[in-house]
């Protein structure tokens, strides 16, 4: 039986072979998109991933600084390589299940994902904020950024679904204040967002 490392190496080789040159992405962007395809087996991502020009450097620098990594769901949190993040002093934060978040959501009639962004506010500046499930989390985050209330170092915007998803992502990629890596359209997911963070860690490991 092949080892996990061998399976991953072989998978990357297959993806490289199936996506002929010239590819829509190159260099570090390709390495990120390739890992996302490896995670999902979805080659449609080749036309759906969007990068802010400073996104990769911003993410790497945030990890080097030991910045917080905030996730919208526990599923996304579980997919991130926590041991590697800890090496740089980063703390992963997810507030979706906090009692205070549940109470705030019920009191205001909003989603827990929306309420968790408000609860995360003290930790957002300079953080990597990864959203792999909830468009309402991205909508609320964009509200706060547009009002100059907070500024993450990087947003990984990959909520999935049918309601408000495409509009939320369009707000993200249209703004100029915060670097982002996003998947446009309805597709996305926690596994894809986690793959991006894990690839940023791979860049650091290879330096």
Q: pLDDT, tens digit, for every residue of 88-104?
A: 999 999 999 999 999 99
pLDDT (average), residues 132-143: 97
Mean pLDDT along residues 122-147: 97
Residue whose token pair is 């080892």: 3
How many residues are listed for the chain in this entry? Answer: 207
Positions marked catalytic: 38
Question: What is the rounded distance in angstroms from the CA atom of residue 132 to the CA atom of residue 160?
Answer: 7
Domains and CATH numbers, the chain: 44-206 (3.40.50.10230)
- Supply angle C-alpha 89, 56, 185, rounded to 5: 115
Name 183's bridge partners: 49
Alpha carbon separation from 143 to 61, 114, 136, 170 (Å, rounded): 25, 11, 10, 13
Q: Which pTM was predicted?
A: 0.95
User: In this structure, what is the dihedral angle of CA atoms 35, 52, 25, 137, given to the nearest 10 degrees?
Assistant: 40
- pLDDT digit string, tens, across residues 162-196: 999 999 999 999 999 999 999 999 999 999 999 99
2 pLDDT above the threshold of 80: no
With bands split at pLDDT 50, 70 and 90, how would you rate the model's confidence at 1? low
Q: Is the C-alpha dihedral spanning 74, 59, 3, 13 positive or negative? A: positive
Give the model's pLDDT for residue 195. Answer: 97
Tens of pLDDT, residue by residue over 59-116, are 999 999 999 999 999 999 999 999 999 999 999 999 999 999 999 999 999 999 999 9
pLDDT of residue 42: 95
Mean pLDDT across the stretch 122-139? 97
């Amino acid at each position: 039986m092949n080892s996990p490392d061998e399976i991953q190496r072989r998978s990357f080789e297959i993806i490289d072979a199936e996506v002929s040159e010239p590819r829509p992405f190159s260099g570090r962007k390709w390495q990120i998109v390739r890992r996302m395809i490896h995670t999902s087996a979805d080659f449609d991502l080749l036309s759906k991933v969007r990068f802010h020009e400073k996104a990769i450097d911003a993410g790497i620098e945030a990890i080097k600084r030991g910045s917080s990594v905030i996730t919208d769901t526990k599923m996304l949190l579980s997919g991130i390589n926590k041991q590697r993040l800890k090496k740089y002093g980063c703390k992963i934060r997810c507030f979706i299940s906090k009692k205070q978040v549940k109470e705030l959501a019920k009191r205001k009639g909003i989603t827990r994902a929306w309420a968790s962004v408000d609860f995360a506010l003290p930790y957002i500046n300079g953080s990597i904020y990864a959203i792999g499930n909830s468009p309402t989390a991205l909508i609320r985050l964009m509200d706060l950024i547009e009002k100059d209330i907070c500024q993450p170092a990087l947003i990984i915007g990959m909520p999935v679904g049918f309601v408000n998803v495409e509009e939320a992502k369009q707000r993200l990629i249209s703004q100029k204040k915060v670097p982002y890596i996003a998947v446009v359209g309805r597709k996305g997911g926690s596994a894809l967002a986690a793959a991006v963070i894990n690839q940023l860690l791979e860049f650091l490991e290879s330096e």
